[in-house]
Structure formats: C-alpha cells, structure tokens
A and B are shown apart, each in its own frame.
Chain A
C-alpha cells in the first residue's frame, strides 16, 4: 500500500518535523523542540496535533440507524443528544474491542472518529449492521486538528467566537473563512481543548493563526506521553480484539441502560464479566526508581510469580517520573500493591497506581 500523507504534510516538513510511518501514514513524531518540550508546552500553554489520519466517518439514516449501530457500539445512542459525544468502542462477538472511538450525534445521524490503523476494518464491521437506506461516508476531504492545553479556549475563541461556550464532550457548527467547520470540546491529553474538523483547503490558514499565537506543533511522541499521563488507552497497545471493556477497566464507558438490557455484540460474555469480574485487569503502574518499563515488560508479584505485562510505558515529563499501564491478575490490582518489573533481565520494584497519573482539567 502506498504511504499516505495528510494535507499538512509539507507544512510539517517546513516546521522541521521528523516523520515516521504510522498506520500507513507519514506522520510527525516530533519537531525541533523535542518530545519533552512539546509535552510541557501543551500542559502550560497550548499545542496543536494533526490527527487527520484518523477516520471521520459520517452516517445518515432514520431511527433504524440507531438500532443498527447499537448492535456493535454499547453506548446509549437513542438518548444521545444532538452535538453530544461519547467515548465508546466497536465490539466483536466475544466482547473484544475492535476499536475505541468517539461518537457524536449530528443533525442527520452520527459522526464517528476512528483510529487510523483500524478505520477500514471498522467500516467493514459497522457496514454488516447497516441497512440499504443508511448512508455512510469516510470523509477524506476533511482534516482534523486537536488544539490542547490551558490557553486553547482563549486562543480559539478569538478566531471562532462561541467555542468558549462548549462544554466537554459537546460540539457545534461554526463559520470560518466562509466555510462551515465542526468543533468539539474534547481531546486525548488530559487538558482542556478542542478538536476541529476543517476542510483540507482551509487547514493551513487555521494553523498559521495558531502558530502566530505561539501554539506549538506536537508530534506523536508527545501525544503518547500526554495520553499516558492522562491514563488514556492507545489502541493496538493497551486495547485489542482479545481484550474486552471489563478487562480494560472501561466498563464505565458502557452505558448504564445497555448494561441492563444488552443487545450488543458480546453481550453474554460481558454480562457475565460485569457480574463476576475478569481474571485480569488494566492498571496504572509506577516504577519506584527511574527505570522505564516499556511495552511487553513482564510483571511479577513481590513473591516472584509472573502476574502480567506492560502495554504502554514511558517517562512522564509532567509527573517527572516513569509511568506505565498494563494488565495484571485482578487479585493484584489494588492501588498500592507492590510489584516487580523485569527490565533487561533485572527485577525493579514498582507499585500499582491510580489513574490518571496527571490530574485532568476538563471544562464541565
């Protein structure tokens, strides 16, 4: 498959981006400042992220569209208000997570933001449940820009009046440069911020404005340290098709009504797990010292039995310490439990930690 590029590829190049292949795209991993400075400037000022590789999947249809989508998505779509968003997932027959996503109710139906590496398969999986009168479109004419950090609201409000009124996980249509764009108050860094869906032809102009307001470009490297400090999962690492929402410690994301009534893929399995708990569960982990426990690091109990593995691990610049997430046998999941991490053949101490590692500041 040919390597794909987002509409901002040349713009990133001019900003000094280092590129890596990611989910079939050439994406910036970092810019001149490097990961730590990018991370800190997002937390203290604001940063922008080109996330246009993610799928912007639009669905239209009558009320039967809700029934169709609820078979594969365990959110309460019937009661989701227009312009409101939910974090949810696509589930397979075993209750495994095909992808995690954000779904927003639009006037004509729904918009789902899908992970780049999964989007083609996701659409296949969703399409199985769609009816002839349901229209769908993966819109590649749109870019998606995340603006994240405490100064985001002040900066974006000057350009697009009205965005300051949005509450976390809601969105609205706005006018910019004579075109419609869609802005939601959301993100994946643990900071206040916005995701802006904008046509490929206008996106450079938006970025010019952000840069003139000292908003730094942020690459995939800092995106990873930011989301991990915020305790958020990365699909393909912390989540995959063999992991279900109960194991992933994401049962909060299954709507209350759906937990009672079911009617979605993998329901029997998930009902049982909700009642009895799972054998393993996702937890936060803090190594005691400076050692970084990266993906696939084995986790041992204090009496040397293997109890799990790390799925994401890095150095958290705002926590100023290494942080990690992984799966352990449920009996070892209590906060504060001492564990050991095997790094380069040597065992290092660590503890099960609360998530997030870094306190969020969303506007509710």
Chain B
C-alpha cells in the first residue's frame, strides 16, 4: 500500500496498484459526531473526481462523501453500512468506505500529504 493522501473534503485515499481505497478522515468523524447511517456504492458504479459516491449521517445531519479520485467502484464496505458506529472508532483503518479502480494516478499524486492535510485542517477550522 502507498502512503495515504488527503482531500480538502476530508477523505483519505491509499493506493495498491491501480486500486484505491477511500475513507473519511478522523478529523471528519470528529466534526460529524456520532455516525448512525452509512450508504456505500455498489461495485460497477463509475465515479468522477469530486463526485458524490457515498453518504454518511450523524445524529446531527446527512453529508455526502465524495470520491477524491475518478474510477470504477470495485467494492463498497458493507461492514460499515451494518455497523455505522464503527466509522467513529476506526475511520482511517477497517472502516474504509469503498475501493475503486483508478484511471489516472496523477489525480492521486495531486492530493495532499498527511502534513499538508493537518496544516489545512488547522487553517480551516469549522
């Protein structure tokens, strides 16, 4: 697996060959609060960079999860749909949202590093 890269919409991506794994960051889960519903995409669905790909709902509100990278979904993580609370406990590990086969590695390279993302979060508190 490659190092994790991060988007401004608080998703993370790791890359294994041409298959990317996408989830939401710990910072995102802290902003959302208790997660109570997750909808992940089905295999075969095409997603665009920054296009809506999944849904996450906390007790407060529903939010879209965007794909930071374009490609074709190979798998949605059914385990988090069955147990949405697990996203709060392990957002950057077991509770990934979906995997997709990517077309353009350049999209991955252009995302933020961990340090850049941490700095971005500090500068954009919400």
* A57 smallest CB distance to B (angstroms): 31
Between-chain CB contacts (< 8 Å), 27 pairs: A29-B60, A34-B33, A34-B34, A34-B59, A35-B33, A35-B34, A35-B59, A35-B60, A36-B34, A36-B36, A36-B59, A221-B60, A225-B59, A290-B36, A290-B37, A290-B81, A291-B39, A292-B36, A292-B57, A292-B62, A294-B62, A314-B59, A315-B36, A315-B59, A317-B34, A322-B36, A322-B37
Most chain A CB inside 10 Å of its own CB: which residue of B33, B37, B55, B59: B59
Interface code A316-349, partner B: CB below 8 Å = 1, 0 otherwise?
0100001000000000000000000000100000
CA distance A34 to B57 in the complex (A): 14
Instruction: Determine if B37 and A315 form an interchain contact, defined as CB atoms under 8 angstroms apart.
Output: yes
Instruction: Determine if A30 and B33 form an interchain contact, defined as CB atoms under 8 angstroms apart.
Output: yes
**Nearest B-chain residue to A225, judged by Cβ:** B59
Interface code B15-58, partner A: CB below 8 Å = 1, 0 otherwise?
00000000000000000011011010000000000000001011
Interface code A262-298, partner B: CB below 8 Å = 1, 0 otherwise?
0000000000000000000000000000111010000
Using CB atoms and an 8 Å cutoff, list the residues of chain A in contact with chain B. Answer: 29-30, 34-36, 221, 225, 290-292, 294, 314-315, 317, 322, 344
B68 within 8 A of A: no
Count of chain A to chain B residue pairs whose CB atoms are closer than 8 Å in the complex: 38
CA distance A221 to B37 in the complex (A): 16
For B36, the chain A residues whose CB sits under 8 A away are 36, 290, 292, 315, 322
**Nearest A-chain residue to B36, judged by Cβ:** A315
B71 within 8 A of A: no
CA distance A291 to B58 in the complex (A): 11
CA distance A36 to B39 in the complex (A): 20
CA distance A344 to B57 in the complex (A): 12
B84 within 8 A of A: yes
Instruction: Determine if A221 and B59 form an interchain contact, defined as CB atoms under 8 angstroms apart.
Output: yes
* A322 smallest CB distance to B (angstroms): 7
For A34, the chain B residues whose CB sits under 8 A away are 33-34, 59
**Nearest A-chain residue to B32, judged by Cβ:** A34
CA distance A184 to B36 in the complex (A): 34
Contacting A at CB under 8 A, from B57-98, are: 57-60, 62, 81, 84
Instruction: Give 15 new A-B contacts, CB below 8 A, not counting A36-B36, A290-B37, A315-B59.
Output: A29-B60, A34-B59, A35-B34, A35-B58, A36-B59, A290-B36, A290-B81, A291-B37, A291-B39, A292-B57, A294-B62, A315-B37, A317-B34, A317-B59, A344-B55
